[in-house]
């Protein structure tokens, strides 16, 4: 256990040196930091509570959500009545209901029976709050109405807000390291707080990511009629006019029903066209989407298909060959910045409805430099207190533990710098807490060594036994805390996530310093002693 090969020694020292080098940039002035080579410019950011940032309050357009539901209901009504082989006039929306008229009044009962399964239950059955989401009833002799209930509308709004929160978090913090707070407020509002935003350009980027719903659909373009011809005459049934983003042509005549939606996208990444070198978005469909895309392109070679993003045609290429691999390319006079932003939006998913920014401001730190100074002071006091106790209780081996604890803090900060993570006020608390936790493993090891010495073991055997036999106990104790930290990171947000980051990283570095650094120091000390007369170390 105490034997260290040369490569292990070199690896341990290299990790410690790398940790120190990664931590140093965080304590340099901005001028000196800017002079560092690009590869060395890694440091952790400060959270909203320490250095301020952007504060935006948005509201969701619930009316748009309602309209989308009505459109979905109309499509469902058409499908069910066709499957039932009933004739009817196209369903429409009147007031707060979808209405459909059957051509033969004697078919009203059959239509009602075909549409009844559309209604599902919302609420909690066990709590007695379960109610139907749709009220389906016959009106007159030949009309059936489908009316969403109020609890169903509220449930749909709650689900949309929850989905929007996840989409926003993915857009603003795809790596989960910036400590962006995205919180629901009231029935239809979402609060967004992103630390470190200082310039108007950064704020504008956040606005664009919040305002764009990024709803993408794929439609076939009319094979023979142009948009101009449709405007001069009559738009064919099953088609609609949609504006073009580059205004050339101004509009496109496309099928109303999309062949695919953005939900079927598996990936979307920025790149460049191999022929023209212009910025493009390369996309890939999921398995089911790729199968549909392959079939549609195979059946419509020579026809154009339109890619619609947020109600505008951004590209309408001609299908030259069947595309069976499920991949494609979107081009449209994009800049590199637009390609990167659009691909990020598409990867994070579409918002259920538009968001309107009700309030925005760049806020200062709530506690700022005072909090940082107090956190440093607490860290110094904690480190000095732990150091004093360990040296008093364990002598030279206490010094080894203190060196390990100091390296533990350095490695936590180094990992945060490498990840580009954000230090928050709870994060500082986590670092201070892990200073005490860092020596827990050493205490277990040293007490085990004392027990071995009391049992009559030689100092060398006692030290070796202390490290080897305490290993399983330390791993078990640290693993339970590590799992708790992972759960806090996965399920928490804002301050909880900030605390979880430093806690989980601290556990990793604790195990490393306890079983590698302090063990290496002990091995070095033993080598300098007379193996035939090693004094008791503790």
pLDDT in tens, 23-82: 888 888 778 877 778 777 788 877 777 777 888 889 998 888 888 888 888 888 888 988
Residue 537 CB neighbour total at 10 angstroms: 22
**Residue from 2, 141, 1 nearest 524 by CA:** 2
List domains and CATH numbers for the chain: 6-45+366-527 (1.20.1640.10), 53-207+351-363 (3.30.70.3400), 216-337 (3.30.1360.200)
Q: Is 126 left (phi over 0), alpha (psi -120 to 50) or beta?
A: alpha
- Distance, CA of 442 to CA of 471 (rounded, Å): 10
Cα dist. 272→18, 282, 336 in Å? 36, 9, 9
Could you report the per-residue pLDDT of 327-336, keeping only the tens digit for each?
A: 877 776 777 8
Q: What tokens were used for 499?
A: 């605390």
**Cβ neighbours for 378, distance < 8 A, ≥ 6 positions apart:** 428, 432
**Residue from 110, 33, 45, 109 nearest 421 by CA:** 45
Cα dist. 122→80, 151, 155, 156, 528 in Å? 22, 7, 7, 10, 74
Higher pLDDT, 418 or 275: 418
Is pLDDT at 419 greater than 80 in this prediction? yes
CA atoms within 13 A on the CB side of 452: 23
**Kind plus residue range of the DSSP H or E element containing 316:** none
Residue length, the chain? 538
Nearest-5° Cα angle at 11, 10 to 14: 85
Cα dist. 446→273, 459, 465, 507, 538 in Å? 63, 12, 10, 19, 8
Cα dist. 413→27, 152, 419, 494, 499 in Å? 11, 48, 10, 19, 13
Is pLDDT at 179 greater than 70 in this prediction? no
- Distance, CA of 136 to CA of 402 (rounded, Å): 73
Q: What tokens were used for 349?
A: 């998913």
Residue 434 CB neighbour total at 10 angstroms: 24
When pLDDT is averaged across residues 168-177 and rounded to a whole number, the result is 79
- Distance, CA of 260 to CA of 445 (rounded, Å): 61
- Distance, CA of 529 to CA of 421 (rounded, Å): 44
Q: Is 0.95 topped by the overall pTM?
A: no
When pLDDT is averaged across residues 491-509 and rounded to a whole number, the result is 82
**Residue from 58, 378, 75 nearest 238 by CA:** 75
Q: Which residues pair with 217 in a beta bridge?
A: 261, 308
Tokens 């952790």, located at residue? 44
Residue % of the chain over a pLDDT of 70: 92
Is pLDDT at 171 greater than 80 in this prediction? yes
DSSP 280: E
| SS3 (DSSP) at 258 | coil
Alpha helices by DSSP H, listed for 395-494, are 396-419, 425-438, 440-454, 459-469, 471-491
Could you report the per-residue pLDDT of 231-274, keeping only the tens digit for each?
A: 888 888 888 899 987 767 888 898 888 888 888 888 888 888 77
Burial of 430 (0-12, 13-18, 19+ CB in 10 A): buried
Is pLDDT at 460 greater than 80 in this prediction? no
Alpha helices by DSSP H, listed for 125-226, are 150-172, 200-211
List, as own/partner pairs, every contact residues 99-102 make where C-beta atoms lie below 8 angstroms and the sequence separation is at least 24, other chains included. 99/139, 99/143, 99/144, 99/145, 99/146, 100/143, 100/144, 100/146, 101/142, 101/143, 102/142, 102/143, 102/144
List, as own/partner pairs, every contact residues 135-143 make where C-beta atoms lie below 8 angstroms and the sequence separation is at least 24, other chains included. 136/112, 137/112, 138/108, 138/109, 138/112, 139/99, 141/105, 141/108, 142/101, 142/102, 142/103, 142/104, 142/105, 142/107, 142/108, 143/99, 143/100, 143/101, 143/102, 143/108
When pLDDT is averaged across residues 407-417 and rounded to a whole number, the result is 90
Lowest mean pLDDT of 47-56, 79-88, 309-318, name the range: 47-56
Looking at residue 538, its pLDDT comes to 61
- Distance, CA of 478 to CA of 390 (rounded, Å): 20
When pLDDT is averaged across residues 434-456 and rounded to a whole number, the result is 82
Tokens 């250095």, located at residue? 51
Looking at residue 368, its pLDDT comes to 57
Contact 23, 156 (CB under 8 A): no
């Amino acid at each position: 256990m105490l034997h260290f090969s040369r490569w292990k020694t070199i690896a341990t020292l290299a990790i410690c040196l790398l940790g120190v080098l990664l931590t140093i940039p965080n304590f340099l002035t901005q001028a000196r930091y800017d002079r560092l080579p690009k590869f060395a410019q890694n440091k952790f950011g400060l959270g909203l509570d320490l250095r301020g940032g952007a504060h935006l309050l948005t509201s969701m357009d619930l009316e748009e959500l309602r309209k989308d539901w009505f459109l979905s209901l109309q499509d469902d009504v058409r499908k069910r009545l066709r499957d039932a082989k009933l004739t009817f006039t196209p369903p429409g929306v009147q007031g707060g209901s979808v209405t459909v008229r059957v051509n033969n009044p004697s078919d009203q009962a059959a239509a009602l029976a075909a549409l009844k399964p559309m209604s599902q239950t919302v609420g909690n059955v066990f709590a007695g709050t379960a109610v139907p989401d749709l009220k389906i009833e016959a009106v007159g002799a030949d009309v059936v109405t489908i009316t969403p209930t109020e609890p169903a509308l509220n449930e749909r709004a709650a689900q949309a807000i929850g989905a929007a929160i996840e989409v926003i978090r993915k857009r603003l913090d795809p790596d989960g390291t910036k400590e962006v707070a995205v919180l629901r407020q009231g029935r239809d509002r979402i609060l967004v707080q992103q630390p470190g935003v200082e310039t108007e350009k950064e704020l504008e980027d956040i606005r664009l990511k919040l305002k764009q719903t990024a709803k993408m659909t794929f439609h076939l373009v009319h094979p023979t009629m142009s948009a101009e011809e449709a405007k001069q005459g009559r738009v064919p049934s099953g088609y609609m006019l949609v504006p073009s983003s580059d205004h050339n042509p101004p509009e496109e005549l496309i099928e109303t029903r999309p062949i695919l939606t953005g939900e079927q996208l598996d990936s979307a990444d920025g790149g460049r066209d191999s022929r023209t070198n212009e910025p493009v978005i390369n996309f890939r469909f999921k398995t089911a989407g790729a199968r549909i895309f392959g079939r549609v392109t195979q059946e419509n070679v020579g026809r154009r298909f339109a890619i619609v993003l947020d109600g505008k045609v951004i590209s309408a290429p001609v299908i030259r060959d069947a595309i069976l691999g499920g991949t494609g390319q979107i081009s449209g006079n994009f800049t590199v910045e637009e390609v990167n932003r659009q691909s990020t939006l598409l990867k994070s998913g579409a918002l259920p409805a538009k968001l309107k920014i009700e309030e925005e401001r760049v806020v200062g730190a709530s506690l700022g430099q005072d909090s940082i100074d107090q956190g440093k002071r607490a860290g110094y006091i904690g480190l000095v207190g732990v150091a004093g106790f360990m040296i008093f209780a364990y002598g030279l081996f206490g010094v080894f533990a203190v060196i390990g604890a100091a390296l533990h803090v350095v490695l936590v900060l180094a990992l945060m710098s490498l990840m580009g993570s954000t230090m928050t006020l709870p994060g500082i608390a986590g670092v201070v807490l892990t200073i005490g936790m860092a020596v827990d493993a050493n205490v277990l090891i040293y007490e085990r060594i004392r027990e071995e010495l009391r049992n009559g073991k030689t100092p060398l055997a006692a030290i070796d036994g202390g490290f080897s036999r305490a290993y399983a106990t330390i791993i078990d104790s640290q693993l339970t805390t590590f799992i708790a930290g992972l759960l806090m990171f996965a399920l928490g947000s804002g301050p909880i996530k900030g605390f979880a980051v430093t806690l989980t990283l601290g556990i990793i570095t604790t195990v490393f310093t306890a079983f590698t650094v302090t063990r290496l120091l002990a091995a070095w000390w033993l080598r300098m002693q007379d193996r035939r007369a090693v004094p008791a170390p503790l």
